[in-house]
A and B are shown apart, each in its own frame.
Chain A
Amino acid sequence: MSRYFRELSVVGALAVALIAMAVFAPAFFQPQPLLSLATREAPTLVVACGMALVIICRQIDISVGSMFSVVSVCTGILAARGWPLLLVLPIAAGLGAALGALNGALVAGLRLPSIVVTLATMVALRQGLNLVRQGEFVNMPDTVQWFGLPQATGQWVLVICALALLAALGLGLRHLAAGRFVYAVGTDAEAARLAGIRPQLVTFGVFVFIGALTGLAAMMNIVQSPQVQPLSGMGLELKVIAAVVVGGVAISGGRGNLWGAFAGLLLLACVAPALTHLRIEAYWEKAIQGAIILLAVVADGLRERRQA
């Protein structure tokens, strides 16, 4: 029980928030808007899973937003040209993985600090995309939207896909050897090396993984609307890092899990619609999200202090 205290407290906070909504703004709970909300957050969830892996491995990737935009636009163009989605999907994941591999090679191969490496690739990718596309939208044919399925079906497909990915990754992280390696490397890379793990390989793998997941997320994004906006990944990195951290993944590596990250994401994602329902002005949104992040880390800090 105490092992998952951190995750449970986020779930608790979420529950309190939802109960408060049920009392003060019951209109919040309507199936269709909630499904829409879930659909739009589905790609974010997929990226957040990857970010959780990276942070557990004691690295960080702030280039996900730019990767997301780049893959969205590239695969959007392919899809708009009529390439079959079944072909575009692996291309999206592959392109993401390739970009992730670039980060991974620099971080693991040259042992450069990940925050700076991904800062550089973030700027370079975003501006590179702007350079080529000049901010232009990609218009998608109808057949792409919701994979050509009816809207409601398509939305469910996306949400279920994201949840399935979450479940698969969450279970894999706990029950596959590879998942345990990530924890080991994040806790103490030197001890991991002595235990026969190759930390650099694990680190590289984690970056490739987040790249591939970001590619998939981009794919989940482009099927949602008739236009792909190149700015779509703007700020995604901070959003997912915040979600992951609120969800109890320690930035110092080795601690946390995907379920917590999921709860953290839900908590932050509910802020904007909740504000609308509570008729609080929109301008408080960022401040409240900031306060939630600080609250989460302060709670962590206090708890650790008490234990120490």
Chain B
Amino acid sequence: SSKLVVAFLPKSKGNAYFISCKAGAEKAAKELGVELLFDGPTDSNAAKQNEIVENWITLGVDVIAVAAENKEGISTALRKAQRAGIKVVTYDADAMPDARSFFVNQATPEGIGHALMDDAARLLNGEGDFAMIVATLTAANQREWQKHIEARLKEKYPKMKLVAVRPCDDLKDKAQSEATAMMSANPNLKLIMAICSPGVPGAAEAVKQAGKTGKVKVIGLGLPNENRRYVHEGVTDTVILWNTGDLGYLTIHAGVALAKGDLKPGAKSFKAGSLGSFAVQGDNILLGKPFAFNKGNIDQFNF
């Protein structure tokens, strides 16, 4: 066929977050008349990501868009793709700069870290104990976010204390167990911050079951659909995220533009179909600021 082939690699393909990215990507692919391949590991596994990319190289796709599970791990494969004449963009989580042309940056780690920490501080009036639930602790962007959260905490909120960080293996059930244990171990806990998407509903379910709705607040990074119920019930206060559909949409547009030669290194801005223009900072295409979903606005979104 004469269609361009764009391959879109999530960290894990069952994750609702990436499924919503895929919806935007599909929309863009349709508009642009390109063929979209979507494949990824079912669990977040760096080795499998590599294998999929290498398969795509021998399949001779035109563009590969990657959310990197692990920076170093994937970069070798991506460099190989570039040598084979394939255009590479990353989204959601970046690879090494020399292994891709552009990174579609949903929000800087700093921006995310600050937004979460500031929101936590706002809810607790800058004072009290809080805990964190993270994914596997091995995911690079989780580490990055955690680092910025802790930096912000140190710098601006001396009266707040991070009492526990527990991994949930990207499993909601595990997040729930961990949150339950954290609450009983720390009676003064005021807030749980979950920075992976299964973690937020998991923590919310734990708070709800413990009958501590309102006493222990839940915030985190997550999808509106997964958290809608808890936000309405008042268990979860705020969910912070960017528009994931737009992220997928923008990524495909950037990849195709790169393959067609419409987007070149050094560009200052980039126009992506119906979404209009985006700023380009160096080799980062910026999606915009993270968005806070709360009781007031969450029903306007469906992803």
Q: Quick one: which of B16, B43, B187, B208 contacts A27, CB cutoff 8 A?
A: B187
Residues of A within 8 A of B239 (CB): none
| Shortest Cβ distance from residue A131 to the other chain B in the assembled complex, whole angstroms | 10
| Shortest Cβ distance from residue A50 to the other chain B in the assembled complex, whole angstroms | 20
Residues of A within 8 A of B14 (CB): 130, 133-137, 230-231
Q: How far is the CA of A234 from the CA of B173 in the complex (A)?
A: 11
Residues of A within 8 A of B198 (CB): 229
Q: Quick one: which of B19, B172, B187 contacts A229, CB cutoff 8 A?
A: B172
Q: Given A231-B43, A282-B166 in contact, is the A277-B181 Cβ separation under 8 Å?
A: yes
Q: How far is the CA of A272 from the CA of B180 in the complex (A)?
A: 11
Q: How far is the CA of A227 from the CA of B181 in the complex (A)?
A: 21
Q: How far is the CA of A28 from the CA of B181 in the complex (A)?
A: 8
Evaluate contact between B171 and A234: CB separation under 8 angstroms.
yes
What 1/0 flags go to B179-213 for Cβ under 8 Å of A? 01111110100000000001001000110111100
Q: How far is the CA of A137 from the CA of B229 in the complex (A)?
A: 15
Q: Given A33-B183, A135-B13 in contact, is the A151-B208 Cβ separation under 8 Å?
A: yes
Q: How far is the CA of A151 from the CA of B177 in the complex (A)?
A: 16
Is the C-beta of B42 less than 8 angstroms from some C-beta in chain A?
yes
Evaluate contact between B171 and A27: CB separation under 8 angstroms.
no
Q: How far is the CA of A230 from the CA of B172 in the complex (A)?
A: 11
Q: How far is the CA of A32 from the CA of B181 in the complex (A)?
A: 11
Evaluate contact between A276 and B173: CB separation under 8 angstroms.
no
Evaluate contact between B173 and A40: CB separation under 8 angstroms.
yes
Which B residues from 221 to 235 make CB contacts under 8 A with A?
Answer: 226, 229
Evaluate contact between B201 and A33: CB separation under 8 angstroms.
no
Residues of B within 8 A of A230 (CB): 14
Evaluate contact between A229 and B209: CB separation under 8 angstroms.
no
Is the C-beta of A226 less than 8 angstroms from some C-beta in chain B?
yes
Q: Given A277-B181, A277-B184, A279-B185 in contact, is the A36-B42 Cβ separation under 8 Å?
A: no
Evaluate contact between A231 and B185: CB separation under 8 angstroms.
no
Q: How far is the CA of A38 from the CA of B126 in the complex (A)?
A: 35
Is the C-beta of A307 less than 8 angstroms from some C-beta in chain B?
no
Evaluate contact between A232 and B184: CB separation under 8 angstroms.
no
Q: Given A225-B176, A227-B201, A229-B198 in contact, is the A135-B181 Cβ separation under 8 Å?
A: no
Residues of A within 8 A of B176 (CB): 36, 40, 225
Is the C-beta of B15 less than 8 angstroms from some C-beta in chain A?
yes
Query: Number of residues in A with C-beta < 8 Å to the partner?
Result: 32
Q: Given A130-B14, A136-B19, A276-B164 in contact, is the A226-B181 Cβ separation under 8 Å?
A: no
Is the C-beta of B62 less than 8 angstroms from some C-beta in chain A?
no
Is the C-beta of A297 less than 8 angstroms from some C-beta in chain B?
no
Evaluate contact between A36 and B206: CB separation under 8 angstroms.
yes
Evaluate contact between B42 and A225: CB separation under 8 angstroms.
no
| Shortest Cβ distance from residue A73 to the other chain B in the assembled complex, whole angstroms | 11
Evaluate contact between A276 and B181: CB separation under 8 angstroms.
yes
Is the C-beta of B251 less than 8 angstroms from some C-beta in chain A?
no
Q: Quick one: which of A25, A130, A137 contacts B185, CB cutoff 8 A?
A: A25
Q: Which residue of A lies closest to B230 (CB)?
A: A226
Residues of A within 8 A of B19 (CB): 134, 136
Is the C-beta of A37 less than 8 angstroms from some C-beta in chain B?
yes
Q: Given A151-B208, A155-B209 in contact, is the A36-B180 Cβ separation under 8 Å?
A: yes
Residues of B within 8 A of A234 (CB): 171
Which B residues from 1 to 34 make CB contacts under 8 A with A?
Answer: 12-16, 19
Which A residues from 259 to 280 make CB contacts under 8 A with B?
Answer: 272-273, 276-277, 279
Is the C-beta of A30 less than 8 angstroms from some C-beta in chain B?
yes
Evaluate contact between B166 and A276: CB separation under 8 angstroms.
yes
Is the C-beta of B167 less than 8 angstroms from some C-beta in chain A?
yes
Residues of A within 8 A of B164 (CB): 276, 279
Which B residues from 31 to 53 make CB contacts under 8 A with A?
Answer: 42-43
Is the C-beta of B92 less than 8 angstroms from some C-beta in chain A?
no
| Shortest Cβ distance from residue A230 to the other chain B in the assembled complex, whole angstroms | 7
Evaluate contact between A272 and B178: CB separation under 8 angstroms.
yes
Which B residues from 161 to 175 make CB contacts under 8 A with A?
Answer: 164, 166-167, 171-173
| Shortest Cβ distance from residue A46 to the other chain B in the assembled complex, whole angstroms | 16
Q: How far is the CA of A233 from the CA of B19 in the complex (A)?
A: 21
Residues of A within 8 A of B181 (CB): 33, 37, 272-273, 276-277
What 1/0 flags go to A16-53 for Cβ under 8 Å of B? 00000000010110101100110110000000000000
Q: Which residue of B lies closest to A221 (CB)?
A: B173
Residues of B within 8 A of A28 (CB): 184-185
Q: Given A137-B16, A231-B43, A272-B181 in contact, is the A33-B173 Cβ separation under 8 Å?
A: no
Q: How far is the CA of A273 from the CA of B210 in the complex (A)?
A: 15
Which A residues from 122 to 138 make CB contacts under 8 A with B?
Answer: 130, 133-137
| Shortest Cβ distance from residue B220 to the other chain A in the assembled complex, whole angstroms | 16
Q: Given A135-B42, A279-B185 in contact, is the A232-B13 Cβ separation under 8 Å?
A: no
| Shortest Cβ distance from residue A122 to the other chain B in the assembled complex, whole angstroms | 14
| Contacts A/B (CB < 8 Å), 5 sampled | A32-B184, A33-B183, A36-B180, A136-B14, A273-B185
Seen from chain A, the residues whose Cβ lies within 8 Å of a Cβ on chain B are: 25, 27-28, 30, 32-33, 36-37, 39-40, 130, 133-137, 151, 155, 225-227, 229-232, 234, 272-273, 276-277, 279, 282
Seen from chain B, the residues whose Cβ lies within 8 Å of a Cβ on chain A are: 12-16, 19, 42-43, 164, 166-167, 171-173, 176-178, 180-185, 187, 198, 201, 205-206, 208-211, 226, 229
Closest 7 A-B residue pairs measured CB to CB?
A: A135-B14, A33-B184, A276-B181, A273-B181, A277-B185, A36-B180, A276-B185
13 extra A-B contacts, CB within 8 A, seeds A135-B13, A229-B171: A36-B177, A37-B180, A40-B176, A130-B42, A134-B19, A135-B14, A137-B14, A229-B198, A234-B171, A276-B166, A276-B178, A276-B181, A276-B185
